[in-house]
Amino acid sequence: MVTLQDIEQAATRLDGVVVKTPLLQSAVLNERTESKIYLKPENLQHIGAFKFRGAYNRLSQLDAAARVKGVVAFSSGNHAQGVAYAAKLLELPATIVMPTDAPEIKLAGTRSLGAEVRLYDRHNESREQIAADIAEDRGATLVPAFDDPYIITGQGTVGFELMHQSADLQTMPDVVLSPAGGGGLLAGVSTAVKAINPQTEVYGVEPESFDDHWQSQRAGERVRIDGTTPTLCDALMATTPGEITWSINSQLVKEYLRVSEDEVRHAISFAFRYLKLVVEPGGAVALAAILHNKIALAGKHCCLVLSGGNIDGSLLADCLARYPEP
């Protein structure tokens, strides 16, 4: 289990490096949900996603010998860019294993940050094995996307910030909603939130076709799903909760909510029109959950994390065309 002290130490390492994203409100969103909603827009973070927090926190712990040999990671995009940018800032080599069908904006972003990209076919190759082979061959450090204490505590600074920002506004959220992929962000956020205010309830949100946390909670143990059903939420395509992340989330997260692909599209269009924010599918699931009444919020204060904004222009245009008046 990671602790609030671990997250505070991560916040110190990240001070002056990360963007301390604001808490935002929207009169339209408050009126529609009959509640007071605070948004933590991590789509405004470096590389357009919260993933930079954990990546920098992890890489900054490497000793001099490990830095020379560099790092390896596998990701569909946001962890890829987070590791690539952290490696660039810390001046160490990075190799990222990415699927051929990753969003072009994420592929281009990773390459532009100076990382070497090794493409693979997600249907016929194992990214884990490719990354492990590269790491062994080069003596590089493998940087997991979520199941690592330094990754979790780095992501936990999102929750640490939002709770302190809430206090500055002389309020405290009744509910916090966070996307759930491998569970690293959720584990860090839930640790910070529950340590600072045990009365705040934390919920994870998943796409319907990648609901491994929802199924795991009902089974009372980690469940692996098939993971072959397509989803727009490429950032949330983990097929089973992480071992470390589940040990945290199974204790601290009250419930998991599921949203459909069309509900995600609707939320993306809503964020663009009313919040003036560009949010990617995986980053929009918490917003989709409250817009489509997956949880009763009337009269409550709720904080939700918009975890990323790396969406291809064609997909954004499609969402806007489908829901021109969300």
Q: What is the CATH number of the domain that holds 93?
A: 3.40.50.1100
Are 241 and 292 spatial neighbours (Cβ–Cβ below 8 Å)? Answer: no
Which residue's entry shows tokens 């330094």? Answer: 150
Radius of gyration (C-alpha) of the chain in whole angstroms: 18
- Residues 78-126 have pLDDT tens digits of 999 999 999 999 999 999 999 998 888 989 999 999 999 999 998 889 9
Share of the chain above pLDDT 90, in %: 94
Which residue's entry shows tokens 């532009």? Answer: 112
Task: Give the domain extent around 30.
Answer: 4-48+149-322
Does 40 share its domain with 170? Answer: yes
Does 118 share its domain with 242? Answer: no
pTM, to two decimals: 0.95
Domains: count for the chain: 2
- Residues 252-302 have pLDDT tens digits of 999 999 999 999 999 999 999 999 999 999 999 999 999 999 999 999 999
Question: Of the residues 142, 168, 192, which one is the last residue of a structural domain?
Answer: 142
Angle separating helix axes 149-168 and 51-59, nearest 10 degrees? 130
Question: Of the residues 118, 142, 166, which one is the last residue of a structural domain?
Answer: 142
Lowest mean pLDDT among 22-26, 92-96, 227-231, 313-317: 227-231
Does 303 share its domain with 196? Answer: yes
The mean pLDDT value for 206-219 works out to 97
